[in-house]
Structure formats: structure tokens, C-alpha cells
Amino acid sequence: MAKKEALIWNEEFETMPRPELEKLQLERLKKQVAYVSERVPFYKKLYADAGVSADDIKSLEDITKLPFTVKQNLRDHYPFGMYAVPMSEIKQIHATSGTTGKMTVTCYTENDMGVWAETMARVYTSAGTTSNDMVHNAYGYGLFTGGLGFHLGARTIGAAVVPVSGGLTKRQITIMQDFGTTVLVATPSYTLVLAEAAEEMGVDVKDLKLRIGILGAEPWTPEMREEIEEKLGIEAYDIYGLAEIIGPGVSVECPYHCGMHIPEDHFIAEIIDPHTGEPLGYDTPGELVFTTLTKEGLPLIRYRTRGRTMLHAEKCECGRTMVRMEKVRGRTDDMLVVRGVNVFPSQIEHVLLSFDAVEPQYMIYVDRAKDKLDTLEVHVEASDELFAQGAEQIQEVEKKIAKSMQETLVVGAKIKVVEPKSIERSMGKARRIIDKREVGF
């Protein structure tokens, strides 16, 4: 492959020889395990029950002695029960939607904000962004970590950031045109919406100064990447993040586009067999598991992401020694990502069950519409009583469910109340989701 210009934000850590890096990881892991055991009752009990302590961590492989943590642990301790510091030390709080309306609440101490700023600075730099760039940030600002995370990173590298957030698409094009924005950060699906709006407005993308897109927070295909790169005249960089771990900043592509580098001085990544929990090592697909090494507010040890992917450890042409993860190809549970928002089928079920006029027989359809935005449609069976009342009553119920669904899921869903007994019954495990989008490779 031809040599490319590869900028690196933090040479010392990002190109650290692996033996040295592993030494640092071990040191930090021991410290982090001792820290949570002392400060978080959940971990104290977890490790006491498993009969392990920080003293048992003598090599990096000893991480496998520690039990896993899962999203349900965070839900059980909603909202702040797994925090390791008093609220006076928390400086920023974010949240993602979760099942039955319960959110996952994540937090940052001053030092955690520093770690986030550092990992996001690495993201921007890896994608070739410098202080000479102007960043158009179309990720949503708010509880979602996307907007503020990308904002923080742009500020850290000294770029000018335009906090556009989502919506008012045509105005976004005007801004890019008039301001001369050079870097676009957004979800891939919204990026395509922007590209189409530009086309509609008769804007020649060659007149835009855009050169880079840092895109993620949802599944997207290589075909979509090609379309985006061609339509907007940019080089697209894939990014991965997880609110529980840090938000965006968990990994990003370099100019060689051979997977996403993980800042391993801050996070240990493992791949495990989702059924047995056994570690699988490099170059083998399995479930991605993260351990935070430097977090103070909400450290997570061996946190199961439910995402399926693979890790590669050979040194990259860009000079980084940090492992690369492939795009997440589906999940080991049934969480859906719709327009960048996590949606659990159980949330949908919960809303439906709160309406007596419908039966607990439903089907969820996810698709990507012509305008490139994900669509979510829920079909649910009417009760015999509602069905007998006729179309007008049914429409009324559809509206009410749609409103409640929007409040719970954050993303809108089209609700269709259908005839009783019209949804196909399956003999085994009910199939309730039909996802027509092409996801992953």
C-alpha cells in the first residue's frame, strides 16, 4: 500500500512498543480494580463472591479471573449506584435510552473529561484533522454523547467547531457553503441526507471545502461509504463509541482504513466467546469486552458490549501500535440501533402492553428509507373490542401509541394496529423483529 500521511496526536502513547504498553496496562488495571473494590459496593460484593481481588492480578492474562459486568448491572443501580465518586466530583452527566424507559446514566469527573478530550483529540488527528480545520458538528447535542464529545475533541485540537446539531438540513448546507467547513462529523445516514439536500439545492459539492467526514454511531455498509465519499467529495473515517465506556472516542480509523484503533492505554479490549465467556484472542470473531483503565466516575471492568467483532494486533502502517477492531457486525443480543439511537424490543413491548386496546402480538420492522434515514414501524394486533369499533377508533389508538412510543424511544415509530390474529405466530422463539437494513460487511 502506498505510504500515506498519518498524523498522530500523542506519539508517546499511540506508538508505544507493545511490551511497554502492556506493562502500563497491567499497572493501571491493578489500580483500577483496587479502586472500584474500595469505592463501589457493587464491585466489592462481585469480587468477594468470586473470591478475587486486585492482588490476584499478576499479569494481563489474569484479567480473566474477574467476572464480567453487563448493562443490566447499570440498570439495576440506576441512576448513580455504580458511581465511584461523590456527586461533588461529577462534572458532566450523559444518558442513553434503555429498556422499559430506564436510561443508562454515564458520568465524567474532571479527569474523565480530560480522558475524553484526549481520546477525541486522537480521533480527529487520526482522521487528518488539525487546528486549521473548521468542524461542522451535526451529531445531536444533548444527553447523547455524540454532540458534546465531538465538540470537546474539536476544541482540544484547536479546530473551529460549528455546533450545528441535527435538523434544518438545508440551512446546514448553506452553513457549509458560506463558512467553508472542512470536516463533517455526523451519522452516516444523516450525511447522506445532507448530500441529497445539497443536490436538491443545486450545490456543486466541488464548491464546498469539505475534505473529511468522521462518521459513526450506527451501522453502515461499504456501499454507503462509497456513496457518501463520492457525493460529498470527502474521505470518510469510521468511528466507534459506547456511552458506558466514554462515548465517541473508543476507536477510529487511521488513513489506512484497516480497522479502528483503540486507545489501549485507557481501555483494554478483549474478544470472548459469548456463550462460554472464554477469551478468544486476536483475529477471531466474538463478543467485544472493554475494561476502562483510567476512569474515575464510572469505571467498568470487563464490560460486555454485546457487539460482535474481531481484533487485530499487528503493527499498522500508520505507526500506531494500538490494536484495531473491525466494524461491529451485529449484536449478541437483540438491541437495535435506529438513527443512532439504541432501541430495545422490550421497550417497544413495554409501551404496547400499557394499552388495553391492543394485544401483546406485534412485529417490529426496521428499514432504511429512500431518504436514507432508518424507519421504524410497529404492527400490533387490535383487541376484538377495538377492532369492532372501527377505523376511526383504531386510528385514535395508533396516534396514542405513537406518542407514547416517541416519548419512550426518543426516535419516532409508525404504529399500525392490525386485525386480531393477523400476525404470524411462530412455534419456537417468537420472531418479532424484521430488520431489512444491510448491516456491517
Contact residues: Zn ion, CB under 5 A: 254, 256, 316, 318, 320
Q: How far is the CB of 187 from Zn ion (least distance, A)?
A: 23
Q: How far is the CB of 3 from Zn ion (least distance, A)?
A: 12
Alpha-carbon span 99 to 408, nearest angstrom:
9
Q: How far is the CB of 214 from Zn ion (least distance, A)?
A: 15
SS3 sequence of the chain: CCCCCCCCCCHHHHCCCHHHHHHHHHHHHHHHHHHHHHHCHHHHHHHHHHCCCHHHCCCHHHHHHCCCECHHHHHHCCCCCCCCCCHHHEEEEEEECCHHHCCEEEEEEHHHHHHHHHHHHHHHHHCCCCCCCEEEECCCCCCCHHHHHHHHHHHHHCCEEECCCCCCHHHHHHHHHHHCCCEEEECHHHHHHHHHHHHHCCCCHHHCCCCEEEEECCCCCHHHHHHHHHHHCCEEEEEEEECCCCEEEEEEECCCCCCEECCCCCEEEEEECCCCCCECCCCCCEEEEEEECCCCCCCCCCEEEEEEECEECCCCCCCCCCCEECCCCCECCCCEEECCEEECHHHHHHHHHCCCCEEEEEEEEEEECCCCCEEEEEEEEECHHHHHHCHHHHHHHHHHHHHHHHHHHCCCCEEEEECCCCCCCCCCCCCCEEECCCCCC
Cell of 96: 442513553
Our CB check for Zn ion shows the closer of 282 and 431 to be: 282
Distance of CA 325 to the CA centre of its chain: 14
Q: Which amino acid is at 227?
A: E
Q: How far is the CB of 80 from Zn ion (least distance, A)?
A: 37
Our CB check for Zn ion shows the closer of 179 and 256 to be: 256
Our CB check for Zn ion shows the closer of 147 and 255 to be: 255
Alpha-carbon span 414 to 403, nearest angstrom:
10
Residues 6+ apart with CB under 8 A from 2: none
Our CB check for Zn ion shows the closer of 224 and 318 to be: 318
Our CB check for Zn ion shows the closer of 310 and 318 to be: 318
Our CB check for Zn ion shows the closer of 161 and 262 to be: 262
Q: How far is the CB of 240 from Zn ion (least distance, A)?
A: 14
Q: How far is the CB of 249 from Zn ion (least distance, A)?
A: 16
Our CB check for Zn ion shows the closer of 122 and 368 to be: 122
Rounded to 5 degrees, φ, ψ at 429 are -65, 125
Q: How far is the CB of 9 from Zn ion (least distance, A)?
A: 13
Q: How far is the CB of 321 from Zn ion (least distance, A)?
A: 10
Q: How far is the CB of 158 from Zn ion (least distance, A)?
A: 23
Our CB check for Zn ion shows the closer of 198 and 318 to be: 318
Our CB check for Zn ion shows the closer of 258 and 402 to be: 258
Q: How far is the CB of 319 from Zn ion (least distance, A)?
A: 7
